[in-house]
Amino acid sequence: MEWIRGRALALAGETLPLLPVIWDDTSRYMSIERGHVIALEEALFLVRGNEHEGRFGIDDQPKFWVKHAIDLETGRLHILKLPFQEEFRIHVGEEEIRCARSAEKEARVLAAVQGDPRFMQGRTAHDACGNPVQVIDFITGVDLLQYLHSLKAGHEEYCYTLLPGILKRIAESFSGIQRLHEAGLCHGDIRNDHLLIERASGLYKWIDFDLDESSAHFDMWSAGNILHCVVAKGFLTFHDAIRSQPGLTATLWREDASVFFPHRIMNLGKVYPYIPAPLNAVLYRFALGAASRYESMAEIERDLRECAAAMG
């Protein structure tokens, strides 16, 4: 107890009570709070707080099963993903897809991508009750959308100067997803906030692999959301486009919408005519009006690399 209290004070400036709260059963994650200690196999972790998520206009939603924690032995900061069960269904076009969280699936992905800089790194450790906990190395950086919003260039300048390099990096990120698919795995939750840009290296890194879907094509449909975000330099809805350019009312159609999010425009060339036609053709493969869809991440990667090279 004395060692635990001493390390907490030295590493985090945290003064723990004489009898610190130590958890060796992580299934009661709602009760594990800042200043508590989690015991996993031979390691002790000081909890510093919960991870937060802001999506769909809702900021700072706590994820009580995902903890920021310091390894009291090494002093390193980690993300601990505690066992959490969730199942829900979503619709992509006319297809209904079952989604479920699986710690075991994330453990398989973490093992498969060990040493690959395109992915977060971590390991699986177990508590005294046998619950698997993912011990993730903390990444200092920002997510893709935050990075795009931080760029001061206007959209046209962005397309001519920064976009080609970003497309090349996105192609490399998609190459990493293809590697997973070839191993019989998937990411499962490809989103702009699940692709981090590491501050020190500038590397793009995928995070969060615990979601599993009943559809083998879910990753590829989700890749379209990443491309929309990158090419639009954020997100562009029909409402926002028509508000800024009223003349678009007569030219935008249902067929121009994203299959995944029908309120977003995938046929961005109609709004930004300076987008190269080959790049817009890649985007349109994810639109409701597309005659054909991508069958593999390798195809998307190839086309993106060709677009990036042609744009310089």
What's the CATH code of the domain at 178?
Answer: 1.10.510.10
Co-location of 267 and 196 in the same domain? yes
Mean pLDDT of 159-185: 97
Average pLDDT over residues 276-300: 97
The whole-angstrom separation of Cα 178 and Cα 180 is 5
Q: Say if residue 57's pLDDT is above 80.
A: no
Q: Are residues 43 and 100 in the same domain?
A: yes
Give the model's pLDDT for residue 60.
Answer: 61
SS (H, E, C) 258-276: ECCCCCEECCHHHCCCCCC
Q: What global pTM score does this model have? A: 0.91
Predicted confidence at residue 89, as pLDDT, reads: 83
Asked whether residue 58 carries a pLDDT value surpassing 50, the answer given is no
- The mean pLDDT of 246-274, rounded to a whole number, is 96
44 plus 95 within the same structural domain: yes
Full residue range of the structural domain in which residue 152 is found = 141-311
272: which residues sit within 8 A by CB, 6+ positions away?
155, 156, 159
The stretch 217-236 carries a mean pLDDT of: 95
Residues 211 and 156 reside in one and the same domain: yes
Closest CA to 6 of 40, 39, 46: 46
166 and 124 part of one domain: no
* DSSP β-ladder status, 87-92 and 37-40: unpaired
pLDDT of 54 reads 54
Decide if 151 contacts 97 (C-beta within 8 A).
no
Q: Is residue 179 located within the same domain as residue 127?
A: no
| β-strand partners of 97 | 90
Same domain (yes/no): 31, 146: no
What is the signed CA dihedral for 147, 307, 292, 288, rounded to 10 degrees? 40
Domain stop point among 97, 117, 137: 137
Count of domains forming the chain: 2
Burial classification of residue 162, based on how many CB atoms lie within 10 Å of its CB (0-12 exposed, 13-18 middle, 19 or more buried): middle
Is a pLDDT exceeding 90 seen at residue 39?
yes
User: Of 105, 122, 137, which marks where a domain is finished?
Assistant: 137
End-to-end CA distance of the chain: 60
Residues 104 and 119 in one domain: yes
Tell me, what DSSP letter sits at residue 154? -
* CATH number of the domain enclosing 67: 3.30.200.20
Whole-angstrom CA distances from 267 to 148, 191, 241, 255 are 20, 19, 12, 8
Listed residues 116, 137, 158: the one ending a domain: 137
Tokens of 177: 């997803």
| Rounded Cα distance, 37 and 166, in Å | 40
Residue 247: what pLDDT? Answer: 95
| Res. 108 pLDDT band, cuts 50 70 90 | very high
**Same domain membership, residue 170 and residue 132:** no
